Amino acid sequence: MPAPRNGGRSSTHGARRKAILGSARRSRSAAKAFPWEDLPADELLQVRLCDLKLRLEGTWLHVLVQRVQGELHAQGLVLRPHFWLSDEWASPDGIPGVAIPFYLAHPRLAALERAQMYEVEGGNRRECVRLLRHEVGHAMQHGYALHRRRRWQRLFGPSSQPYPDYYRPRPGSRRFVQHLEGWYAQSHPAEDFAETFAVWLAPRSNWRRQYEGWPALEKLEYVDELMNELRGVRPPVHSRGRPYSLPSLRQRLGEYYEEKRARYGRSTPGAYDQQLQVLFSADRGRNTAAAFLRKHRSELRALVARGTGQHPVTVDQVLKEMIARCQELRLRAAGSERTLLMEMVVLLTAHTVHRIHTSQWHAV
């Protein structure tokens, strides 16, 4: 074996070092690929959505899209929905494809979404895959016009039924599967099907055992029969349209969030800040305020629901926003837990009462 060159250092070592340095340089350049990513929030909110210049390819989302496509392939289904970035999760009528919200394609925008809306829908892999399966259910419905089938209509209802602006779910109902949060299957017949399909598609979901004895099992068995029928069948609807794609959206981020908060009944960012900062502390306490609220979440939810007469899920939505805000402000819980708990009940009650006079359940 010939002696290595480069003064006794192996050529593989040198190549590896160059590769590492090259990778680091590429990572730095990739990290600064967008001129808006280092802007302060007030300036970022002035950027138009179309000027974000984001792509789905090369992101963590693309990996999850391929995963769900693989699940369709494993079931012998030939429909391959197309995916694009838009302003929200959607599968438009008549198009067997899926729109994914733009803020998931870059961590800076995900952070802005959290600051503006208190949460990032689909912001982790588990939740994102669940949402992708749900939207693929809509794409299946559109690609094969499933809503025109009589049995589909008998089990799920007419898809032509208008979407409600808001809905109040029945958490105890067993007529619907439970996939996304908020008992979303109950909001509309099309959502009922998409949720049922998502449960069916998930590998190792064991839906027969999980829903044994539930009326919802009939829907799952129907979806199973329907997908067996559609194996190897090409969809008659094959539009590749991309409505509301990111390059076509000229709205500024600030305008986008103003409209979104109004639509979802969210408070403006900072609405809780002053009261939370009085109750908690920025520099004292061993435990974080967010951890304190999570620890007592069930108790707080039950107490305020009983005191206001509202469903615990309504209370929990407000509490979730407060937890997110405490985390953002890095507040800490100092002093007597009992005193903090009593004061938190008062604060949470006030905001829950305010919320029920605006909105409760939004149908997306």
pLDDT band at 272 (very low <50, low <70, confident <90, very high): confident
60 with 134, same domain: the answer is: yes
82 with 198, same domain: the answer is: yes
Q: What percent of the chain lies above the pLDDT cut of 90? A: 65
- What is the mean predicted confidence (pLDDT) over 177-186? 88
Number of domains in the chain: 2
Please say which residue of 181, 210, 230 terminates a domain.
230
196 with 63, same domain: the answer is: yes
Q: What is the pLDDT of residues 244-253, one digit of tens each?
A: 999 999 999 9
302 with 174, same domain: the answer is: no
Residue with tokens 């990572």: 27
225 with 326, same domain: the answer is: no
In angstroms, the CA 75 to CA 223 distance is 12
CA-wise closest residue to 99 among 247, 201, 230: 247
Which residues neighbour 93 within 8 Å (Cβ) at sequence distance 6 or greater? 142
Judge whether 205 lies within some domain: yes
348 with 213, same domain: the answer is: no
pLDDT band at 225 (very low <50, low <70, confident <90, very high): very high
306 with 223, same domain: the answer is: no
Q: Which of 17-21, 54-58, 269-273 has the lowest mean pLDDT?
A: 17-21
pLDDT band at 29 (very low <50, low <70, confident <90, very high): very low
273 with 203, same domain: the answer is: no
pLDDT at position 207 over 60: yes
Judge whether 32 lies within some domain: no
282 with 175, same domain: the answer is: no
284 with 224, same domain: the answer is: no
Answer whether 80's CB lies under 8 Å from 96's CB: no
Compute the Cα dihedral for 245, 131, 207, 194 and give only its sign: negative
The domain in which residue 350 lies consists of 268-356
Residue 26: per-residue pLDDT = 40
CA-wise closest residue to 156 among 165, 147, 164, 168: 147
Residue 232: per-residue pLDDT = 96
167 with 96, same domain: the answer is: yes
Higher-pLDDT residue of 22 and 130 is: 130
Judge whether 262 lies within some domain: no
345 with 217, same domain: the answer is: no
- Token pair, residue 176, equals 């619907």
pLDDT at position 262 over 90: no
Q: What is the pLDDT of residues 323-344, one digit of tens each?
A: 989 988 999 998 899 999 999 9
